[in-house]
Structure 1
Protein backbone atom coordinates (compact mmCIF):
# COMPACT_ATOMS: atom_id res chain seq x y z
CA UNK A 1 0.00 0.00 0.00
CA UNK A 2 2.97 2.32 -0.22
CA UNK A 3 2.47 5.61 -2.06
CA UNK A 4 -1.27 4.98 -2.34
CA UNK A 5 -3.07 8.30 -2.78
CA UNK A 6 -5.65 9.12 -0.17
CA UNK A 7 -8.91 10.96 -0.68
CA UNK A 8 -8.89 14.74 -0.48
CA UNK A 9 -11.66 14.61 2.12
CA UNK A 10 -9.27 12.70 4.41
CA UNK A 11 -6.59 15.36 3.92
CA UNK A 12 -9.13 18.03 4.81
CA UNK A 13 -10.13 16.01 7.86
CA UNK A 14 -6.46 15.68 8.92
CA UNK A 15 -5.99 19.45 8.66
CA UNK A 16 -9.19 20.26 10.56
CA UNK A 17 -8.43 17.83 13.38
CA UNK A 18 -4.83 19.05 13.61
CA UNK A 19 -6.09 22.64 13.88
CA UNK A 20 -8.44 21.46 16.65
CA UNK A 21 -5.46 20.26 18.67
CA UNK A 22 -5.25 16.54 17.92
CA UNK A 23 -1.77 15.02 17.70
CA UNK A 24 -0.44 12.86 14.91
CA UNK A 25 -0.78 9.62 16.88
CA UNK A 26 -4.43 10.22 17.74
CA UNK A 27 -5.10 11.29 14.13
CA UNK A 28 -3.49 8.06 12.95
CA UNK A 29 -5.73 5.95 15.17
CA UNK A 30 -8.85 7.96 14.39
CA UNK A 31 -8.48 8.15 10.58
CA UNK A 32 -6.68 4.89 9.87
CA UNK A 33 -3.64 6.52 8.28
CA UNK A 34 0.02 6.03 9.03
CA UNK A 35 1.66 8.64 11.25
CA UNK A 36 4.37 9.29 8.66
CA UNK A 37 1.72 10.03 6.04
CA UNK A 38 -0.02 12.48 8.36
CA UNK A 39 3.29 14.13 9.24
CA UNK A 40 4.14 14.44 5.54
CA UNK A 41 0.88 16.27 4.81
CA UNK A 42 1.24 18.48 7.87
CA UNK A 43 4.81 19.33 6.89
CA UNK A 44 3.65 20.35 3.40
CA UNK A 45 0.90 22.47 4.94
CA UNK A 46 3.28 24.23 7.33
CA UNK A 47 5.88 24.76 4.61
CA UNK A 48 3.33 26.37 2.28
CA UNK A 49 2.60 29.35 4.51
CA UNK A 50 -1.08 29.36 3.53
CA UNK A 51 -3.83 29.67 6.10
CA UNK A 52 -6.13 26.77 6.97
CA UNK A 53 -9.13 28.50 5.37
CA UNK A 54 -7.30 29.02 2.07
CA UNK A 55 -6.36 25.34 1.85
CA UNK A 56 -9.83 24.11 2.86
CA UNK A 57 -11.44 26.34 0.19
CA UNK A 58 -9.40 24.69 -2.60
CA UNK A 59 -11.23 22.29 -4.87
CA UNK A 60 -10.12 18.65 -5.03
CA UNK A 61 -7.90 18.98 -8.11
CA UNK A 62 -5.99 21.97 -6.68
CA UNK A 63 -5.64 20.26 -3.32
CA UNK A 64 -4.38 17.10 -4.99
CA UNK A 65 -1.73 18.98 -6.97
CA UNK A 66 -0.77 20.92 -3.83
CA UNK A 67 -0.19 17.79 -1.72
CA UNK A 68 1.17 15.61 -4.50
CA UNK A 69 4.87 14.83 -4.14
CA UNK A 70 7.05 16.75 -6.50
CA UNK A 71 9.35 14.74 -8.71
CA UNK A 72 12.87 14.48 -7.45
CA UNK A 73 15.59 16.24 -9.42
CA UNK A 74 17.76 14.04 -11.58
CA UNK A 75 20.86 12.71 -9.93
CA UNK A 76 24.11 14.21 -11.06
CA UNK A 77 26.51 11.41 -11.92
CA UNK A 78 30.01 12.09 -10.65
CA UNK A 79 33.15 11.67 -12.75
CA UNK A 80 34.41 8.73 -10.69
CA UNK A 81 31.07 6.96 -11.11
CA UNK A 82 31.28 7.37 -14.89
CA UNK A 83 34.84 6.06 -14.82
CA UNK A 84 33.86 3.00 -12.82
CA UNK A 85 30.86 2.35 -15.08
CA UNK A 86 33.16 2.15 -18.11
CA UNK A 87 35.46 -0.31 -16.30
CA UNK A 88 32.74 -2.64 -15.00
CA UNK A 89 32.29 -4.78 -18.16
CA UNK A 90 35.99 -5.68 -18.18
CA UNK A 91 36.02 -6.34 -14.42
CA UNK A 92 32.96 -8.59 -14.68
CA UNK A 93 34.59 -10.58 -17.46
CA UNK A 94 37.85 -10.93 -15.53
CA UNK A 95 36.02 -11.95 -12.35
CA UNK A 96 34.76 -15.08 -14.11
CA UNK A 97 38.33 -16.34 -14.53
CA UNK A 98 39.79 -18.71 -12.00
CA UNK A 99 41.89 -17.06 -9.28
CA UNK A 100 40.55 -13.52 -9.77
CA UNK A 101 38.83 -11.98 -6.76
CA UNK A 102 36.96 -8.76 -6.12
CA UNK A 103 39.67 -7.71 -3.71
CA UNK A 104 42.31 -8.05 -6.44
CA UNK A 105 40.20 -6.05 -8.87
CA UNK A 106 39.62 -3.34 -6.28
CA UNK A 107 43.34 -3.09 -5.49
CA UNK A 108 44.05 -2.70 -9.20
CA UNK A 109 41.28 -0.10 -9.52
CA UNK A 110 42.69 1.94 -6.62
CA UNK A 111 46.20 1.74 -8.10
CA UNK A 112 44.90 3.33 -11.31
CA UNK A 113 42.41 5.68 -9.63
CA UNK A 114 43.57 6.61 -6.09
CA UNK A 115 40.53 8.83 -5.46
CA UNK A 116 38.13 6.08 -6.57
CA UNK A 117 35.47 4.28 -4.59
CA UNK A 118 36.37 2.23 -1.52
CA UNK A 119 35.88 -1.53 -1.46
CA UNK A 120 32.26 -1.75 -0.28
CA UNK A 121 30.94 0.70 -2.89
CA UNK A 122 33.13 -0.83 -5.59
CA UNK A 123 31.77 -4.32 -4.84
CA UNK A 124 28.19 -3.03 -4.71
CA UNK A 125 28.54 -1.40 -8.14
CA UNK A 126 30.15 -4.52 -9.55
CA UNK A 127 27.40 -6.74 -8.13
CA UNK A 128 24.69 -4.45 -9.49
CA UNK A 129 26.28 -4.49 -12.93
CA UNK A 130 26.66 -8.27 -12.91
CA UNK A 131 23.07 -8.87 -11.80
CA UNK A 132 21.68 -6.68 -14.60
CA UNK A 133 23.89 -8.16 -17.29
CA UNK A 134 23.48 -11.83 -16.38
CA UNK A 135 20.97 -13.49 -18.72
CA UNK A 136 19.14 -16.58 -17.56
CA UNK A 137 17.40 -19.19 -19.67
CA UNK A 138 14.46 -21.19 -18.44
CA UNK A 139 14.39 -24.60 -20.12
CA UNK A 140 11.00 -26.26 -20.51
CA UNK A 141 11.29 -30.05 -20.63
CA UNK A 142 9.44 -33.24 -19.92
CA UNK A 143 10.60 -35.03 -16.81
CA UNK A 144 12.98 -37.90 -17.66
CA UNK A 145 12.97 -37.08 -21.39
CA UNK A 146 16.48 -35.58 -21.59
CA UNK A 147 19.50 -35.39 -19.38
CA UNK A 148 21.23 -32.05 -18.81
CA UNK A 149 24.87 -31.98 -17.73
CA UNK A 150 26.30 -29.00 -15.88
CA UNK A 151 29.99 -28.51 -16.70
CA UNK A 152 30.55 -25.78 -14.10
CA UNK A 153 33.30 -26.14 -11.52
CA UNK A 154 36.53 -28.10 -11.43
CA UNK A 155 37.31 -30.71 -14.08
CA UNK A 156 36.73 -34.31 -13.12
CA UNK A 157 40.40 -35.23 -13.46
CA UNK A 158 41.37 -32.82 -10.68
CA UNK A 159 38.62 -34.23 -8.48
CA UNK A 160 39.90 -37.77 -8.95
CA UNK A 161 43.41 -36.72 -7.88
CA UNK A 162 42.04 -35.09 -4.75
CA UNK A 163 40.02 -38.19 -3.88
CA UNK A 164 43.01 -40.54 -4.34
CA UNK A 165 45.19 -38.72 -1.82
CA UNK A 166 42.61 -38.37 0.92
Structure 2
Protein backbone atom coordinates (compact mmCIF):
# COMPACT_ATOMS: atom_id res chain seq x y z
CA UNK A 1 0.00 0.00 0.00
CA UNK A 2 1.55 3.36 -0.94
CA UNK A 3 2.43 5.79 1.81
CA UNK A 4 0.39 8.94 2.33
CA UNK A 5 1.68 12.06 0.62
CA UNK A 6 3.27 14.82 2.62
CA UNK A 7 1.49 18.11 3.01
CA UNK A 8 2.39 20.74 0.43
CA UNK A 9 3.80 22.85 3.27
CA UNK A 10 6.29 20.11 4.16
CA UNK A 11 7.20 19.55 0.51
CA UNK A 12 7.85 23.28 0.09
CA UNK A 13 10.05 23.13 3.20
CA UNK A 14 12.06 20.26 1.67
CA UNK A 15 12.54 22.27 -1.52
CA UNK A 16 13.47 25.44 0.40
CA UNK A 17 16.04 23.70 2.61
CA UNK A 18 17.61 21.97 -0.37
CA UNK A 19 17.64 24.79 -2.91
CA UNK A 20 17.76 27.98 -0.82
CA UNK A 21 19.76 26.77 2.18
CA UNK A 22 21.94 24.35 0.15
CA UNK A 23 21.59 21.56 2.69
CA UNK A 24 22.27 17.92 1.90
CA UNK A 25 19.47 15.43 1.54
CA UNK A 26 20.54 13.82 4.81
CA UNK A 27 20.32 17.14 6.67
CA UNK A 28 16.93 17.95 5.12
CA UNK A 29 15.65 14.48 6.02
CA UNK A 30 16.77 14.92 9.62
CA UNK A 31 15.24 18.40 9.97
CA UNK A 32 11.91 17.42 8.41
CA UNK A 33 11.73 13.99 10.13
CA UNK A 34 11.69 12.15 6.81
CA UNK A 35 13.72 9.39 5.26
CA UNK A 36 16.43 10.24 2.75
CA UNK A 37 14.71 8.31 -0.08
CA UNK A 38 11.54 10.32 0.60
CA UNK A 39 13.46 13.60 0.27
CA UNK A 40 15.16 12.30 -2.89
CA UNK A 41 11.75 11.31 -4.34
CA UNK A 42 10.26 14.80 -3.86
CA UNK A 43 13.38 16.49 -5.26
CA UNK A 44 13.26 14.22 -8.31
CA UNK A 45 9.58 15.03 -8.85
CA UNK A 46 10.33 18.76 -8.58
CA UNK A 47 13.15 18.45 -11.13
CA UNK A 48 10.88 16.53 -13.52
CA UNK A 49 8.24 19.26 -13.13
CA UNK A 50 10.85 21.91 -13.99
CA UNK A 51 10.58 23.73 -10.66
CA UNK A 52 13.31 25.89 -9.15
CA UNK A 53 13.70 28.09 -6.07
CA UNK A 54 12.09 30.48 -5.39
CA UNK A 55 8.80 28.93 -6.41
CA UNK A 56 6.63 31.18 -8.60
CA UNK A 57 4.36 33.47 -6.56
CA UNK A 58 1.24 32.36 -8.43
CA UNK A 59 1.90 28.68 -7.65
CA UNK A 60 -0.73 27.59 -5.12
CA UNK A 61 -0.78 24.24 -3.31
CA UNK A 62 -3.24 22.52 -5.65
CA UNK A 63 -1.25 23.51 -8.75
CA UNK A 64 2.01 22.42 -7.09
CA UNK A 65 0.41 19.07 -6.30
CA UNK A 66 -0.69 18.64 -9.94
CA UNK A 67 2.87 19.44 -11.08
CA UNK A 68 4.52 17.03 -8.64
CA UNK A 69 1.92 14.27 -9.01
CA UNK A 70 0.60 14.34 -12.57
CA UNK A 71 -2.22 11.88 -13.26
CA UNK A 72 -0.97 8.57 -14.59
CA UNK A 73 -2.37 7.99 -18.07
CA UNK A 74 -4.40 4.80 -18.32
CA UNK A 75 -3.15 2.49 -21.05
CA UNK A 76 -5.55 1.89 -23.88
CA UNK A 77 -6.96 -1.62 -23.65
CA UNK A 78 -5.80 -3.83 -26.47
CA UNK A 79 -8.43 -5.41 -28.66
CA UNK A 80 -8.85 -8.92 -27.33
CA UNK A 81 -10.82 -11.66 -28.92
CA UNK A 82 -13.36 -13.37 -26.67
CA UNK A 83 -13.46 -17.15 -27.13
CA UNK A 84 -16.53 -18.81 -28.61
CA UNK A 85 -17.95 -20.41 -25.46
CA UNK A 86 -20.20 -22.79 -27.39
CA UNK A 87 -17.15 -24.27 -29.11
CA UNK A 88 -15.32 -24.48 -25.78
CA UNK A 89 -18.33 -26.27 -24.28
CA UNK A 90 -18.48 -28.87 -27.07
CA UNK A 91 -14.69 -29.37 -27.00
CA UNK A 92 -14.80 -30.00 -23.24
CA UNK A 93 -16.92 -33.11 -23.86
CA UNK A 94 -14.05 -34.85 -25.66
CA UNK A 95 -11.66 -37.18 -23.85
CA UNK A 96 -8.50 -35.65 -22.37
CA UNK A 97 -9.61 -32.08 -23.10
CA UNK A 98 -9.18 -29.62 -20.25
CA UNK A 99 -9.88 -25.92 -19.87
CA UNK A 100 -6.15 -25.35 -19.65
CA UNK A 101 -5.57 -27.09 -22.98
CA UNK A 102 -8.34 -25.07 -24.64
CA UNK A 103 -6.93 -21.86 -23.14
CA UNK A 104 -3.46 -22.72 -24.51
CA UNK A 105 -4.97 -23.18 -27.97
CA UNK A 106 -6.82 -19.87 -27.58
CA UNK A 107 -3.61 -18.06 -26.57
CA UNK A 108 -1.78 -19.69 -29.47
CA UNK A 109 -4.29 -18.16 -31.88
CA UNK A 110 -4.57 -14.85 -29.96
CA UNK A 111 -1.26 -13.97 -28.22
CA UNK A 112 -2.78 -10.82 -26.70
CA UNK A 113 -5.76 -12.80 -25.44
CA UNK A 114 -7.01 -13.05 -21.89
CA UNK A 115 -5.23 -14.84 -19.06
CA UNK A 116 -6.23 -18.27 -17.80
CA UNK A 117 -8.03 -16.98 -14.70
CA UNK A 118 -10.21 -14.68 -16.84
CA UNK A 119 -10.86 -17.53 -19.27
CA UNK A 120 -12.04 -19.87 -16.49
CA UNK A 121 -14.09 -17.20 -14.73
CA UNK A 122 -15.97 -16.16 -17.86
CA UNK A 123 -16.48 -19.75 -18.99
CA UNK A 124 -18.02 -20.54 -15.59
CA UNK A 125 -20.28 -17.48 -15.89
CA UNK A 126 -21.32 -18.53 -19.39
CA UNK A 127 -22.16 -22.02 -18.10
CA UNK A 128 -24.28 -20.47 -15.34
CA UNK A 129 -26.34 -18.55 -17.90
CA UNK A 130 -27.21 -21.70 -19.85
CA UNK A 131 -29.99 -22.65 -17.41
CA UNK A 132 -29.70 -26.38 -17.99
CA UNK A 133 -31.56 -28.80 -15.75
CA UNK A 134 -32.78 -32.36 -15.91
CA UNK A 135 -35.31 -33.46 -13.32
CA UNK A 136 -35.12 -37.16 -12.44
CA UNK A 137 -37.92 -38.67 -10.37
CA UNK A 138 -37.29 -42.11 -8.89
CA UNK A 139 -37.48 -43.86 -5.55
CA UNK A 140 -34.36 -44.21 -3.41
CA UNK A 141 -32.37 -47.32 -4.28
CA UNK A 142 -34.54 -48.09 -7.29
CA UNK A 143 -31.86 -47.25 -9.87
CA UNK A 144 -28.12 -47.77 -10.10
CA UNK A 145 -26.05 -45.28 -12.09
CA UNK A 146 -22.95 -46.87 -13.63
CA UNK A 147 -19.94 -45.45 -15.44
CA UNK A 148 -16.28 -46.18 -16.08
CA UNK A 149 -13.87 -43.46 -14.98
CA UNK A 150 -11.21 -42.32 -17.42
CA UNK A 151 -8.60 -44.51 -19.10
CA UNK A 152 -7.58 -47.99 -18.19
CA UNK A 153 -4.86 -48.32 -15.58
CA UNK A 154 -2.05 -50.89 -15.55
CA UNK A 155 -2.20 -53.55 -12.81
CA UNK A 156 1.02 -55.50 -12.29
CA UNK A 157 0.95 -59.06 -10.99
CA UNK A 158 3.60 -59.22 -8.26
CA UNK A 159 4.46 -62.86 -8.87
CA UNK A 160 4.65 -62.97 -12.66
CA UNK A 161 5.23 -59.31 -13.52
CA UNK A 162 2.40 -59.52 -16.05
CA UNK A 163 0.70 -56.18 -16.79
CA UNK A 164 -3.07 -56.24 -17.13
CA UNK A 165 -5.18 -53.24 -18.06
CA UNK A 166 -8.07 -52.51 -15.69
CA UNK A 167 -10.95 -50.08 -15.81
CA UNK A 168 -12.22 -48.13 -12.83
CA UNK A 169 -15.87 -48.96 -12.28
CA UNK A 170 -18.07 -46.32 -10.61
CA UNK A 171 -21.61 -47.03 -9.41
CA UNK A 172 -23.97 -44.84 -7.39
CA UNK A 173 -27.39 -45.71 -6.00
CA UNK A 174 -29.92 -43.04 -6.92
CA UNK A 175 -31.56 -41.31 -3.98
1:100 match:
97
| Aligned residue number for residue 129 of structure 2 | none
2:72 paired residue number: 71
TM-score by length of structure 2 reads 0.50
Distance 1:95 1:34 in 2: 58
Structure 2: runs of 5+ lacking an equivalent: 126-144, 150-166, 171-175
Q: 2: CA distance between counterparts of 1:100 and 1:8?
A: 59
Cα deviation for residue 9 of structure 1 reads 1.5
Q: Distance in 2 between matches of 1:130 and 1:30?
A: 51
TM-score (norm 1): 0.52
- Per the TM alignment, residue 91 of structure 1 is displaced from its structure 2 partner at its CA by 7.4
Q: Does the 8 A contact of 1:92 with 1:130 survive in 2?
A: no
From the two aligned structures, give the one with the greater strand fraction: 2
Give the structure 1 partner of residue 13 of structure 2. Answer: 13
Gaps of 5+ in 1: 136-154
Question: CA RMSD, aligned part only?
Answer: 4.2
Secondary structure in 2 matching 1:76: coil
Q: Secondary structure at the match of 2:55?
A: helix
What SS does structure 1 have at the residue aligned with 2:54? helix
CA spacing shift, 1:82–1:93, aligned 2, 3 Å: same
3-state secondary structure, aligned to 1:2 = coil
Larger radius of gyration: 2
Contact 1:44 1:67 in 2 (8 A): yes
Shift of 1:53: 0.3
Distance 1:32 1:44, change over 3 A: closer
Contact 1:17 1:27 in 2 (8 A): no
How many pairs were matched up?
130
**Change over 3 Å in CA distance of 1:50–1:126 after alignment to 2:** same
